[in-house]
Structure 1
Amino acid sequence: MKLGLQLGYWGAQPPANAGELVAAAEESGFDAVFTAEAWGSDAFTPLAWWGRETSRLRLGTSIVQMSGRSPTSIAMHALTLDHLSNGRVILGMGVSGPQVVEGWYGQPFAKPLARTREVVAIIRKVLAREAPVTNDGPHYPLPYAGEGSVGLGKPLKPIVHPLRADLPIWLGAEGPKNVAQTAEIADGWIPIFYTPKSAGMYQPWLDEGFARPGARRTRADFEIAATCHLEITADDGPAKQAVIDGLKPVIALYMGGMGAKDQNFHKQVFERMGYADLAHQVQELYLAGEKDRATALIPDELVDDMHIVGSVGAVKERVAQWADTGVTTLLLSFRSADELRRVAEILA
């Protein structure tokens, strides 16, 4: 199992030490660095900026929001950065949610699976550069000939010859149908709440995708990049508990406060994991402004399952458990370069 540095997306200001973290990851044998986007910083620019100081790390997005750019625009970003990095790009994409897609990007959210399939197909056509790119699908028609068209659209091939036609495309997916489609059409999967206890829930969905006619990968060469918080503590008692307690507000936010009340995809994952009643209570409290009460409901065992926290021996054991479930890359975030180096040394 490889290690990846997860830089995520920016808060109110750019992070102060991201460059140091990337340099430490390069030196410490990490496989990749990943960036994300929400409705502030974008995912590609930080990879180009900090990635220029690297020569070995793969440069991944986890994730690019597909509604923020046309499929051909996403392909242009990816092929450009792939040339600049000598073939180190991983294009991670996802559908986001209706509040962001329709509220921020001004695009329709309906039929996200069909949209995903079209986006991936168009990007692969661009990267293959075998013929002018066309698409007959209803969501991203190329050339466009709909309302407002002047009728002069022309199928085009990219001017730049892509470095890799098989540039890896990974997808963020949460529900059964989306995960199955990911296993069918993508090179890898970026789950948001993958845990050792929930891993079994995903296996039939993945198997369904791998078994479909024309599936791109098999389980043997399909990558799973799971995100968790890893922290080494002085003991597996009070020190670990303090970290567990500190992680609960984030879980409460995703369970109860992310997305619309009736369409919170993160909450649905927790429901499938067996926490339906808890998720309902947390959402009711969170949306009512009772964030502290919502956070207090998050059980220790859920946090412990979602993250890797404890003494050196306990962390090593837990990392092995994650690897045994099929995770190929563990995406980790760090507060300092020294913390990253220590984790890399311990897990080496």
Structure 2
Amino acid sequence: MTDRWGITVPFEGIPLADQRSLFEALPDLGYTDAWSAEANGTDAFTPLALASVWAPQLRLGTAIVPAYTRGPATLAMSAATLAAAAPGRFTLGVGTSSNVIVERWNSIPFTEPYKKVRDTVRFLREALTGQKIKADYDTFSVKGFTLGAVPQQQPPILVAALRQGMLRLAGREADGAIVNWLSSEDVRTVAPIVREFGAEKEVVARIFAIPDTDPDTAREIGRWAISAYLNVPVYRAFHEWLGREELGPMWKAWEDGDRKGALAAIPDSVIDELIVHGPAEYCRERIEAYVEAGVSTPVIAPIGPPGLDPADVIRALAPRR
């Protein structure tokens, strides 16, 4: 059993301002971590700022902040501010995000993603100590930035990683990796690559979960989620590397513009591998399997059917007592 048990915040279906009681309940239910995401909903930092006050026992993390969508200095300031608000309890997760979010939604070229994340980590390592930065990196230059509010404790930095290059970067230059959209067995492939650079390297896994929902409904929700994510080039390349040949028909149909065909081509077996669903006790066992395979911190990402009460979900997925 892991010492850590996280959940993705904020919760869907309730205005952010009305979520205080949900955040406050998390520590008593056994949750140790709250991790935010950033795509097309809330930004990554604001929910954690609220969590720092509403549930001061929790460790807070971003999973993830895109390296492209904030300037280096702005990213350093955002990270430093949250590290100051939650001393010793904040972990900064950065990553490439995807071409969809970076290029299509933010009109920023999605070029040299490996170098961009590497340069961002190197910059942050220095900037968060208060050093004056005057440097030319491969993907950006910083001319004389000095962080004006240096946190007392430097936050750990994790890198969102899928394939070998980024996994090694996460182990070599960061404090570990954040992984996503993989099965518990896939963890046995990715975690050892990160830990080539130290057994202490953290591996955080976002685990999609649909508790206490009948299999047909859960698989339908999972089918839509898989088609939305795993046709994005970075995720397709990840699963091709993992050898998930069963998704070949989905990719072919998607390329042909056949969205309905792509949905229908996703095997139930793949949904069952990548998304935890079923009775709550079974879901907990599935999450614990990720830990047994090498995950340091499981972070549950509920994707239940519309109308499901988030309070019921967080209770159902809380760790065994």
TM-score by length of 2: 0.87
Give the match for residue 52 of structure 1. 53
Give the match for residue 254 of structure 1. 229
Asked if structure 2 preserves the Cα contact closer than 8 Å seen for 1:60 and 1:89, the reply is yes
Give the 3-state SS of the residue equivalent to 1:33 in structure 2. strand
Asked if structure 2 preserves the Cα contact closer than 8 Å seen for 1:17 and 1:336, the reply is no
Where do residues 324-335 of structure 1 align in structure 2 (5 Å cutoff)? 324-334=292-302, 335=309
Q: Deviations over 1:61-85 (max 9, x none)?
A: 1111111112221111111111122
Instruction: Pick which of 175-184 and 265-274 moved more.
Output: 265-274
Report deviation, 1:332.
1.2
Where do residues 226-245 of structure 1 align in structure 2 (5 Å cutoff)? 226-233=205-212, 239-245=214-220
Report deviation, 1:207.
4.6
The one-letter code sitting in structure 1 at the alignment partner of 2:320 is L
TM-score by length of 1: 0.80
The one-letter code sitting in structure 2 at the alignment partner of 1:343 is L
The equivalent position to 1:336 in structure 2, one of 290, 310, 314, is: 310
Report deviation, 1:50.
4.0
Query: Separation in 1 of the partners of 2:182 and 2:310?
Result: 25
Instruction: Pick which of 32-41 and 57-66 moved more.
Output: 32-41
Instruction: Pick which of 327-336 and 287-296 moved more.
Output: 287-296
Q: Does 1:7 align with 2:31?
A: no
* TM-aligned CA distance change 1:294 to 1:14, over 3 Å: farther
Report deviation, 1:313.
5.0
Structure 2 unaligned runs (5+)? 303-308
Give the match for residue 163 of structure 1. 152
Q: Deviations over 1:111-170 (max 9, x none)?
A: 2111211111111111222x3122232322121xxxxxxxxxxx24322232213x1111
Query: Separation in 1 of the partners of 2:205 and 2:67?
Result: 20
Give the match for residue 34 of structure 2. 33
Query: Separation in 2 of the partners of 1:254 and 1:243?
Result: 17
Q: Percent identity?
A: 27
Query: Separation in 1 of the partners of 2:206 and 2:145?
Result: 38
The one-letter code sitting in structure 2 at the alignment partner of 1:252 is S
Give the 3-state SS of the residue equivalent to 1:230 in structure 2. strand
Query: Separation in 2 of the partners of 1:313 and 1:92?
Result: 29
Report deviation, 1:309.
2.3
Larger radius of gyration: 1
Give the match for residue 148 of structure 1. none
Q: Deviations over 1:268-312 (max 9, x none)?
A: 122223223x43421343355543332222222212221322345
Q: Does 1:222 align with 2:178?
A: no
Instruction: Pick which of 118-127 and 32-41 moved more.
Output: 32-41
The one-letter code sitting in structure 2 at the alignment partner of 1:193 is W
Query: Separation in 1 of the partners of 2:215 and 2:189?
Result: 27
Structure 1 unaligned runs (5+)? 144-154, 211-217, 259-263
Q: Does 1:178 align with 2:157?
A: no
Give the match for residue 347 of structure 1. 320
Report deviation, 1:86.
2.9
Give the 3-state SS of the residue equivalent to 1:128 in structure 2. coil
Instruction: Pick which of 173-182 and 94-103 moved more.
Output: 94-103
The one-letter code sitting in structure 1 at the alignment partner of 2:313 is E
The one-letter code sitting in structure 2 at the alignment partner of 1:133 is I
Q: Does 1:268 align with 2:237?
A: yes
